[in-house]
Amino acid sequence: MEKSNGTCRPQSWFVIFVSFGLWFVLFYFNSEAFISSKNKVQSVMADYVYGITYPQSITSVENVTDTDESSVDNNSVDDPVEIDEPRNEDPIAKNGNEPNDLTDLVKEIGSDSGPDPSCSGKYIYVHDLPSEFNEDLIKECRTLNKWIEMCQYMVNAGLGPRIGNSQGVFSTKGWFSTNQFMLEVIFHNRMKQYKCLTTDSSIASAVFVPFYAGFEVARYLWDTDVPTRDAASLALVKWLTSKPEWKVLGGRDHFMVAGRITWDFRRLTEKDEDWGNKLMVLPEVRNMSTLTIEASPWHRNDFGVPYPTYFHPSSDSEVFQWQSRMRRQRKRFLFSFVGAPRNSTKLIRNQLIDQCLASKKCKLLDCNKGNKKSCDKPSNVMKVFQNSIFCLEPPGDSPTRRSAFDAILAGCIPVFFHPGSAYTQYTWFLPRDYKKYSVYIPEDQVRDGKVNIESVLQRYSRDQVRRMKEEVIKLIPRVIYADPRSKLETVEDAFDISIEGVLERVEKARTDLREGRNPDEPPYLETNTWKYNLFKTEEKHEWDHFFYD
Ligand SMILES: *[C@@H]1O[C@H](CO)[C@@H](O)[C@H](O)[C@H]1NC(C)=O
Ligand SMILES: *[C@@H]1O[C@H](CO)[C@@H](O)[C@H](O)[C@H]1NC(C)=O
Ligand SMILES: *[C@@H]1O[C@H](CO)[C@@H](O)[C@H](O)[C@H]1NC(C)=O
Ligand SMILES: *[C@@H]1O[C@H](CO)[C@@H](O)[C@H](O)[C@H]1NC(C)=O
């Protein structure tokens, strides 16, 4: 559809957000509940609305069992990594977040070396936020999530407990039981190692705001009133705008990371029953850039970055070794699906599960209730992916899935069913030519029973598969976050690529302002952001129905 779509967007949103209120109530009592709305707007958007909640199949308060793996491996003598594990177990002291860390590090860098020419245009100034915006949230880790015990994941600079290798699925180093919501801490810790930090904001190209936005909002997503949910966002903005750094460009050079999907931060009304806080709709934050694991297709102030995976190498060679191992890896299954069914007619998970069960060439790791723990074990999931040529990555609670990155990491060619699952999201990281590294099967064809997954995948020749798999393996460094306590030499990871993306965007805003243009007025309509990001055009596209009414 055309540009006129933009004008009806806010109204649709209103409907969506209102509908969410109802849905949420259902979810709260029944994690598999869904909206069975006949309203077109709602149904088009429903996938996104699902996203407002929780990772699949979290059904009750429980301590995630990832760490089972390390205890199991406790017994295995072949993994020396496990031996020094207890050193890293104190969440507060050992996460590398001590308030003075950064200041010390920056002083060190700033004092002995003058401006480094290789840092020209790359300097980043990090705001020294009051601890209530970051450190305190780690200390209060028990309150961060109603369903998941988050404290266990705070260790190792936010990577989580190390996982052993009793099943031989991983390499001996660099593997952690990383929770998908930990990006804020991992990114902040990576920033502490960034080579062009400066304490002089006047030479900085960008200003990093180490606010743990997702941790903060996750405490209040359920059963709270609007003022409670918005308090920290408003306090943050008040703090930021009181600083001289804000005045320079009105925040256009500021950026932050939100380790939860964008819909947790985009409440449009002041009604308690609407979802999330309003962080990302505040005028100040609209001037900033926010990196998030799932960005909005219709807004230009947030950018999709990879979910954290389980692999956090501390040297280039760990990356190369893993890549060559995945090149050699023999595959037993043509395709696989790891996930839980959904009780939604809108979603295609149940059809995929049925097709998988009906095919001898498919491996299913069913994450439905009784089996959930099995899917929480990184080795179970990674083993299936490593053994599969293709990995099915359908939308679930939202269009994106951490699983897509786990699949890439395992050298498994992802199969996407919705363009918002990756193609329109992670344009900084993935090739625009998505056919090079993935298979796209429109979800409506699956829903209508028009497509047999096995025969579609079977049609790829040996040679095509080999080339696509190689593309996937080449992507591995770009979608992982290195261990923040060490530095990779030549490999650029997702952090490095994110920083490049931010610097480029800030530079563009700076040029616009200098030349008297409004940075908010790129040559496209904001609601077409997804399309422009990917195709650099706003022309009608076959995917429009995924994004517009
Ligand atoms: C899904 O729907 C079926 C049939 O309507 C019902 O038996 C089942 O309990 C539902 N599952 C969940 C998790 O809500
Ligand atoms: C989770 O772990 C905490 C301590 O780490 C414990 O107090 C709590 O009872 C555990 N919850 C469950 C459901 O096992
Ligand atoms: C793992 O090792 C620790 C310390 O050596 C021990 O307390 C614990 O019981 C072991 N876990 C298992 C499952 O053997
Ligand atoms: C947003 O940036 C513009 C400059 O592009 C500035 O004039 C405006 O004051 C900023 N908005 C806020 C709320 O600071």
Domain residues of the chain, as ranges?
Answer: 48-83+101-304, 329-479, 520-549
- Asked whether residue 544 carries a pLDDT value surpassing 60, the answer given is yes
pLDDT band at 14 (very low <50, low <70, confident <90, very high): very low
CATH of domain 329-479: 3.40.50.2000
Long-range contacts of 242-247 (CB under 8 A, 24+ apart): 243/127, 244/201, 245/125, 245/127, 245/201, 245/204, 245/207
- Asked whether residue 65 carries a pLDDT value surpassing 50, the answer given is no
∠ Cα 148 154 160 (to 5°): 85
Compute the CA torsion angle 432, 434, 437, 440 (nearest 10 deg): 170
**Two tokens at 425?**
């999201």
- CA separation, residue 507 to residues 127, 182, 300, 304, 390 (Å): 19, 28, 15, 19, 39
Residue owning the nearest CA to atom 12 of ligand 2: 62
Q: Enter the pTM of the model.
A: 0.80
Query: Does the Cβ of 343 fall within 6 Å of ligand 1?
Result: yes
Neighbours of 288 (CB within 10 A): 23
- Asked whether residue 271 carries a pLDDT value surpassing 50, the answer given is yes
How remote is the CA of residue 68 from the centroid of ligand 3, in Å?
A: 11
pLDDT band at 196 (very low <50, low <70, confident <90, very high): very high
Share the mean pLDDT of the chain. Answer: 83
**pLDDT tens digit sequence for 160-180:** 999 988 889 999 899 999 999
d(CA 19, CA 45): 10
**pLDDT tens digit sequence for 93-120:** 334 443 344 444 444 444 445 678 899 9
Q: Kindly list the protein residues whose Cβ atom lies closer than 6 A to any atom of ligand 4.
A: 250-252, 283-284, 287, 513, 519
Q: 330 or 113: which carries more pLDDT confidence?
A: 330
Q: 37 or 206: which carries more pLDDT confidence?
A: 206
Instruction: Give the mean pLDDT of 184-193.
Output: 97
3-state secondary structure of 345: coil
Residues, the chain, total? 549
- Ligand 1 pocket: which of 32, 35, 346 to mutate (most atoms within 8 A of CB): 32
Place of tokens 């209730």: 369
- Ligand 3 pocket: which of 71, 72, 75, 77 to mutate (most atoms within 8 A of CB): 71
d(CA 159, CA 152): 10
Residue owning the nearest CA to atom 6 of ligand 4: 250
Instruction: Of 291, 396, 378, 460, give the one whose Cα is nearest residue 54.
Output: 396
How remote is the CA of residue 372 from the centroid of ligand 2, in Å?
A: 17
Ligand nearest, relative to CA of residue 166: 3
Q: Kindly list the protein residues whose Cβ atom lies closer than 6 A to any atom of ligand 3.
A: 71, 74-75
d(CA 156, CA 483): 9
Query: Does the Cβ of 36 fall within 6 Å of ligand 1?
Result: no
